[in-house]
Amino acid sequence: MPGAVVVFLETSATAVRTASLPAITAARQVAQHTGGPVVGVVVGSGIAAAAGDAAQYVDQVIAYDHADLGNPLAESYAPILADAVTQAGASALVAAASSTGKDVLPRAAALLEAGMASDILAVTGGKTFRRPTYAGNALADVEVLTAVVVATVRGTEFAPATPAATRGTVETRAVAGVNTIGATFVGLHTTKSSRPDLTEAAVVVSGGRGMKAGENFKILGELTDLLGGALGASRAACDAGMVPNDMQVGQTGKVVAPKLYIAVAISGAIQHLAGMKGSKVIVAINKDPEAPIFQVADYGLVGTWEASIPALIAAVTKLKNAL
């Protein structure tokens, strides 16, 4: 299929994960330049339902189903993606810049001897992309010169894909054997929460080093729940052991772009700003009037979190009760 674009789709047991929907949008934009179809690749164990769900978004779905593919390992997934690209005669391989995408696609690019553009913000051509550099303080237009192009997509910069007018076909391919090249899946440690995923929430409340202790994040959790949002943190707070690392927002954490971002006791280091400055409205609460976070904030409050957050909770509660 000349000009085909392969998009790696992360799935649950029954559906495409939300993180992969912006990657489909980016793949569609690349396909507009290459003139080929969008081919979704689903990898896992017992994924027939997920492949069926994926068919509503792409022109064709290729499902690689094997008992030993139940857990994502770059060592086993990358050869499958490379095979899918080769079999499709595709000109591009795209995936979300999630932890899985960042793990699998560089290895797939190496197997394909393909150039790679990571964490792209925009598609400007079949082989050209815009991506952040210097922690997001500058944007670079890059061109990949190899026959096959590989790219990971920053989900906050592309609209989630919606179902197409016509469902794509689904093809299940046999997997002869899975070679993990010595890697072993040990376990998956997840945090269960009734709150929305940090990268998908419309409201994010984040705390920094100035929260002083993990137990103090409970009051931020109260504000978060009142607003129906997700709770985040700066790297400094995570490194200090106040909260789990999966709450980290920033260059080396999760990139978020909610409608409302409330930064509490966060100074605003460049690495943190890289992960949240795309938010629609930014509110900063910090006792230091010279804190860099105020330079990107739409609204700033100079004050301690001990005084500001209880007052904010009371105001939000009063407003919600009046509705």
Tens-digit pLDDT profile for residues 174-212: 887 788 887 888 877 766 778 888 988 999 999 999 999
Give the closest residue to 52 by CA, choosing from 154, 225, 168. Answer: 168
Could you give the CA distance from residue 164 to residue 16 in angstroms, rounded to a whole number? 14
Query: Given this model, what pLDDT does residue 27 score?
Result: 97
Burial of 176 (0-12, 13-18, 19+ CB in 10 A): exposed
Please indicate, yes or no, if residue 157 is contained in any of the structural domains.
Answer: yes
Question: Torsions phi, psi of 274, nearest 5?
Answer: -60, -25
pTM: 0.84
For 216-232, how does the pLDDT look when each residue is reduced to its tens digit (9 = 90+)? 999 999 999 999 999 99
Please indicate, yes or no, if residue 311 is contained in any of the structural domains.
Answer: yes
Q: Per-residue confidence at 67, pLDDT binned at 50, 70, 90?
A: confident
Domain limits at 136?
5-173
Return the DSSP state at 16. B
Q: Per-residue confidence at 71, pLDDT binned at 50, 70, 90?
A: confident
- Two tokens at 154? 């920053």
Percent of the chain with pLDDT over 90: 80
Q: Say if residue 124 is in the same domain as residue 262.
A: no
Give the closest residue to 18 by CA, choosing from 196, 241, 238, 240. Answer: 196
Q: Per-residue confidence at 99, pLDDT binned at 50, 70, 90?
A: confident
Structural domains counted in the chain: 2
Q: Say if residue 10 is in the same domain as residue 129.
A: yes
Please indicate, yes or no, if residue 259 is contained in any of the structural domains.
Answer: yes
* Rg over CA atoms, the chain: 21
Could you give the CA distance from residue 113 to residue 86 in angstroms, rounded to a whole number? 12
Could you give the CA distance from residue 252 to residue 285 in angstroms, rounded to a whole number? 23
Please indicate, yes or no, if residue 90 is contained in any of the structural domains.
Answer: yes
Q: Which residues, 6 or more positions from 88, have their beta carbon under 8 angstroms from its beta carbon? A: 1, 4, 6, 39, 62
Average pLDDT, the chain: 93
Q: Say if residue 31 is in the same domain as residue 110.
A: yes
Domain boundary among 156, 173, 190: 173
